[in-house]
C-alpha cells in the first residue's frame, strides 16, 4: 500500500471542518427565519395591520445580511470537493454530483430569483405576489438543504448505486433509493427542524434585548409570540426526528452510536448515560491523554461514566428494552454470540475485495474473460467490506471515532435541546399572560439562548461527522483514500486564509446586525 501523507489528510480534514462549521453558523438562520418571515407577511396580508409589515421588514434586514454571507461560505465548501477531495469526487461518480447539481439548478436559482422580489419588490408588485415570493424563497432555501443532506445521507449509508470496476466509480441505478434513503430522510428532517428552533431562539434573543432596553415593546412581544410557537413546534419535531436518527445510526453506523454513548462493552438492556463524561480507563485524563484523544488515537481505552437510565439505550436504538446494543469492543474485536464480525475479519474481507478488483483489471486487460468473471464475482461478494481492506496493517484505533468529542457534542446537543423545549413554553406563557416585559430573568435567558443555539447547531454537526470517522463513505472509503494528491503546505496556507476570511465575514455580520438591532423596529 502506498505511503499515506497524514499531514495532508489532517490539514484537508481541518480545512473542510473549518469551512463547514463556519457555513453552518449562517445556514440555520436562513432556513428558519425565511419561514418565519413568510408567516409574518401572511398575517400582514390577511389582516392589513401595518405593525406586521414593520415587524417583517425588521427581520427581513437581518435575514438579508445573514443570507449574503451564508452563500459566500457555501460556494467555497462545494469547491473544496474538487480541490481537496478529488479522489472522493471521482469515486462517488454521479451519485454525489446529482443531488448537488439539482440543488444548484433548481433550489438555488429558485431561491435567488424570489429573494430579489422579496427584498426589492415592495410597492413594485402586489401584496399577494410579494407574499408568494417570500414563501417560495423559504421553500427554495429548504430545498437547497434537502439535496445537500441527501448527498450527505448517502455518504453515511450508501444505497441505490453499483460500483463500476472498469471506471472505478460508483454509478447510480436507483435515484429514488438515494432520495428516500432512510438516513437522508431523517437527517433532512432533523436538520431543518433544528434550524427552525435556532431561528426562533434568534428572534427571541433580539426581542428580549429590545425589551430589556425598553425599545419597541409591542412589536418585540408580537415577534416573541410567533417565535415561541414556531420554536416549540421546531424543537418538538427535532426531538422526534432525533429519535428517528438515533435508530438509523444504530442500524447503519453502530460504531457511531457506541461513540455517542461512550459504550465500551455492549449488553442487552443497555442503559443510556443522561449526564456523564468520557474518561480513559487506564487512568484519569491528563492533558497529554486529552490531546491524544483529539488526534483520534487511543480510542480503545476511552469510555463514559455518569448517571444512567436503565434500558434507555436499547429502547432508544431499537424500541426494545432487551435489545443488544454493541459497544466499541464488540465491533472492534467481534461478538460471536451476537453474530458481530471483528474488524480484523472485515479487514481481511476488504483486502480480498481490493485484490480481486486489481486481479479483475489485469485479467480483463490480458483478455482472460473467465478469470475476469471469477475475480469480479469475488470482488462483489466482499464489496460491503471494501473500505476496511485499506486498514490492513493499521492500528485498530484508526477505526474508532474520537469518543470524547463525539460523546460530549452529542450530550451537549441533547441536554440543551431539552432545555429549549421548556424555554419556549415559558416564553409563550409569559407573553400570553403579559408578564414577559417584567420577567427580567426570562429575558436574560432569552438573550443567552442565541449563543446556546449556536453551540447546539455546531454540536449536532460534530456528532454526525466526527462520529462516522474514519469514513468519508461509510465502510467503503476512508478519509485518507479520498484526499487530492496536492502539497500539504498549500492546504495549510489556505486553511489560515479561510480562517481569517471567515472570521472577518462573521465579525462584519455581527457588527452590521448589531447596528440594525440597536435601531430597532422603528427604523
Cell output for 222: 408580537
Residue 71 in this model has a pLDDT that exceeds 50 = yes
3-state secondary structure of 172: strand
Q: How far apart are CA 89 and CA 458, in angstroms?
A: 25
Residue 320 belongs to some domain of the structure: yes
Local structure of residue 2 (DSSP, 8 states): P
Q: How far apart are CA 301 and CA 290, in angstroms?
A: 12
Tell which of 282, 304, 333 closes a domain: 333
Q: Quote the domain boundaries for residue 356.
A: 348-397
Q: Which comes out higher in pLDDT, residue 256 or 514?
A: 256
For the segment 478-489, what is each residue's pLDDT rounded down to a tens digit?
A: 988 888 888 888
Looking at the fold, whether 361 and 326 belong to one and the same domain comes out as no
Looking at the fold, whether 276 and 314 belong to one and the same domain comes out as yes
In this structure, how many other beta carbons lie within 10 angstroms of the beta carbon of residue 162?
13
Q: How far apart are CA 416 and CA 238, in angstroms?
A: 12
Per-residue confidence (pLDDT) for residue 519, from 0 to 100: 77
Omega before residue 470 within 30° of 0, cis: yes
Residue 381 belongs to some domain of the structure: yes
CB environment 349-378: b (16+ within 10 A), e (fewer): bbbbbbebbebbbebbeeeeeeebeebbeb
For the segment 418-455, what is each residue's pLDDT rounded down to a tens digit?
A: 999 999 999 999 999 988 888 899 999 999 999 999 99
For the segment 247-286, what is each residue's pLDDT rounded down to a tens digit?
A: 999 999 999 998 888 888 888 888 888 787 776 655 444 4
Looking at the fold, whether 321 and 283 belong to one and the same domain comes out as yes
Q: Which comes out higher in pLDDT, residue 131 or 281?
A: 131
Residue 233 belongs to some domain of the structure: no
Looking at the fold, whether 308 and 367 belong to one and the same domain comes out as no
**Percent of the chain whose pLDDT exceeds 70:** 93
Residue 240 in this model has a pLDDT that exceeds 90 = yes
Per-residue confidence (pLDDT) for residue 428, from 0 to 100: 94
Tell which of 284, 301, 333 closes a domain: 333
Looking at the fold, whether 307 and 261 belong to one and the same domain comes out as yes
Residue 280 belongs to some domain of the structure: yes
Per-residue confidence (pLDDT) for residue 123, from 0 to 100: 81
DSSP 73-111: HHHHHHHHHHHT-HHHHHHTHHHHHHHHHHIIIIIIHHH
**What are the C-alpha distances in Å from 100 to residues 274, 408, 437?**
37, 31, 46
Residue 329 in this model has a pLDDT that exceeds 80 = yes
pTM: 0.88
Q: What would the mean pLDDT of 385-396 be, rounded to a whole number?
A: 88
Looking at the fold, whether 328 and 363 belong to one and the same domain comes out as no
Least confident piece of the model among 35-49, 264-278, 382-396, 408-422: 264-278
Tell which of 333, 368, 388 closes a domain: 333
Per-residue confidence (pLDDT) for residue 453, from 0 to 100: 93
- Domains held by the chain: number: 2
Residue 505 belongs to some domain of the structure: no
Looking at the fold, whether 261 and 316 belong to one and the same domain comes out as yes
**What are the C-alpha distances in Å from 89 to residues 170, 404, 473?**
10, 30, 11
Residue 293 in this model has a pLDDT that exceeds 60 = no
Q: In sequence order, which residues have a C-beta less than 8 Å from that of residue 276 and are 6 or more positions away? A: 262, 304, 305, 306, 307, 308, 411
Mean pLDDT, the chain, rounded, equals 85
**Percent of the chain whose pLDDT exceeds 90:** 27
Cell output for 344: 480484523
Looking at the fold, whether 326 and 266 belong to one and the same domain comes out as yes
Closest alpha carbon to 245 in 417, 117, 83: 417
Per-residue confidence (pLDDT) for residue 234, from 0 to 100: 94
Residue 465 belongs to some domain of the structure: no
Q: What would the mean pLDDT of 222-247 be, rounded to a whole number?
A: 92
Residue 369 belongs to some domain of the structure: yes
For the segment 73-126, what is each residue's pLDDT rounded down to a tens digit?
A: 777 777 777 788 888 888 887 787 777 777 777 666 777 778 888 888 788 888
Per-residue confidence (pLDDT) for residue 279, from 0 to 100: 65
Per-residue confidence (pLDDT) for residue 284, from 0 to 100: 42
In this structure, how many other beta carbons lie within 10 angstroms of the beta carbon of residue 148?
21
Residue 282 belongs to some domain of the structure: yes
Amino acid at each position: 500500500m502506498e505511503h499515506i501523507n497524514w499531514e495532508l489528510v489532517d490539514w484537508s480534514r481541518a480545512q473542510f471542518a473549518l469551512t463547514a462549521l463556519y457555513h453552518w453558523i449562517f445556514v440555520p438562520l436562513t432556513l428558519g427565519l425565511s419561514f418565519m418571515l413568510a408567516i409574518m407577511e401572511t398575517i400582514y396580508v390577511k389582516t392589513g395591520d401595518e405593525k406586521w409589515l414593520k415587524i417583517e421588514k425588521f427581520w427581513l434586514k437581518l435575514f438579508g445580511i445573514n443570507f449574503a454571507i451564508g452563500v459566500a461560505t457555501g460556494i467555497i465548501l462545494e469547491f473544496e470537493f474538487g480541490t481537496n477531495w478529488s479522489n472522493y469526487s471521482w469515486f462517488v461518480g454521479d451519485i454525489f454530483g446529482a443531488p448537488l447539481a439539482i440543488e444548484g439548478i433548481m433550489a438555488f436559482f429558485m431561491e435567488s430569483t424570489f429573494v430579489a422580489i422579496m427584498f426589492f419588490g415592495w410597492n413594485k408588485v402586489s401584496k399577494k405576489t410579494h407574499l408568494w415570493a417570500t414563501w417560495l424563497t423559504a421553500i427554495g432555501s429548504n430545498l437547497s438543504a434537502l439535496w445537500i443532506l441527501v448527498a450527505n445521507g448517502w455518504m453515511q449509508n450508501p444505497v441505490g448505486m453499483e460500483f463500476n470496476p472498469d471506471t472505478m466509480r460508483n454509478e447510480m441505478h436507483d435515484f429514488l433509493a438515494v432520495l428516500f434513503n432512510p438516513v437522508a430522510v431523517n437527517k433532512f428532517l432533523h436538520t431543518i427542524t433544528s434550524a427552525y428552533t435556532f431561528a426562533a431562539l434568534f428572534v427571541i434573543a433580539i426581542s428580549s434585548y429590545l425589551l430589556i432596553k425598553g425599545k419597541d415593546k409591542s412589536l418585540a412581544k408580537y415577534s416573541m409570540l410567533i417565535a415561541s410557537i414556531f420554536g416549540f413546534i421546531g424543537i418538538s419535531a427535532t426531538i422526534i426526528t432525533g429519535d428517528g436518527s438515533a435508530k438509523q445510526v444504530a442500524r447503519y453506523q453502530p460504531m457511531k452510536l457506541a461513540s455517542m454513548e461512550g459504550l465500551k462493552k455492549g449488553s442487552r438492556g443497555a442503559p443510556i448515560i443522561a449526564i456523564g463524561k468520557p474518561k480513559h480507563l487506564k487512568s484519569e485524563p491528563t492533558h497529554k491523554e486529552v490531546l491524544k484523544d483529539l488526534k483520534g488515537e487511543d480510542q480503545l481505552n476511552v469510555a463514559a461514566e455518569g448517571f444512567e437510565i436503565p434500558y434507555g439505550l436499547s429502547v432508544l436504538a431499537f424500541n426494545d428494552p432487551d435489545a443488544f446494543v454493541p459497544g466499541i469492543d464488540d465491533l472492534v474485536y467481534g461478538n460471536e454470540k451476537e453474530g458481530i464480525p471483528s474488524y480484523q475479519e472485515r479487514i481481511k474481507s476488504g483486502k480480498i475485495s481490493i485484490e480481486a478488483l486489481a486481479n479483475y483489471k489485469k485479467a480483463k486487460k490480458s483478455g482472460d474473460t473467465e478469470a475476469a468473471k471469477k475475480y469480479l464475482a469475488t470482488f462483489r461478494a466482499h464489496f460491503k467490506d471494501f473500505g476496511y481492506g485499506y486498514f490492513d496493517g493499521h492500528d485498530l484505533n484508526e477505526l474508532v471515532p474520537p469518543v470524547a468529542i463525539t460523546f460530549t457534542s452529542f450530550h451537549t446537543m441533547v441536554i440543551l435541546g431539552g432545555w429549549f423545549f421548556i424555554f419556549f413554553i415559558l416564553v409563550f406563557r409569559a407573553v400570553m399572560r403579559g408578564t414577559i416585559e417584567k420577567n427580567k430573568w426570562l429575558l436574560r435567558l432569552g438573550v443567552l439562548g442565541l449563543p446556546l443555539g449556536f453551540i447546539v447547531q455546531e454540536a449536532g454537526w460534530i456528532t454526525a461527522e466526527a462520529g462516522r470517522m474514519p469514513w468519508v463513505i461509510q465502510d467503503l472509503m476512508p478519509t485518507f483514500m479520498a484526499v487530492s494528491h496536492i502539497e500539504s503546505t498549500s492546504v495549510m496556507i489556505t486553511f489560515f486564509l479561510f480562517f481569517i476570511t471567515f472570521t472577518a465575514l462573521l465579525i462584519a455580520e455581527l457588527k452590521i446586525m448589531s447596528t440594525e438591532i440597536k435601531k430597532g423596529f422603528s427604523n
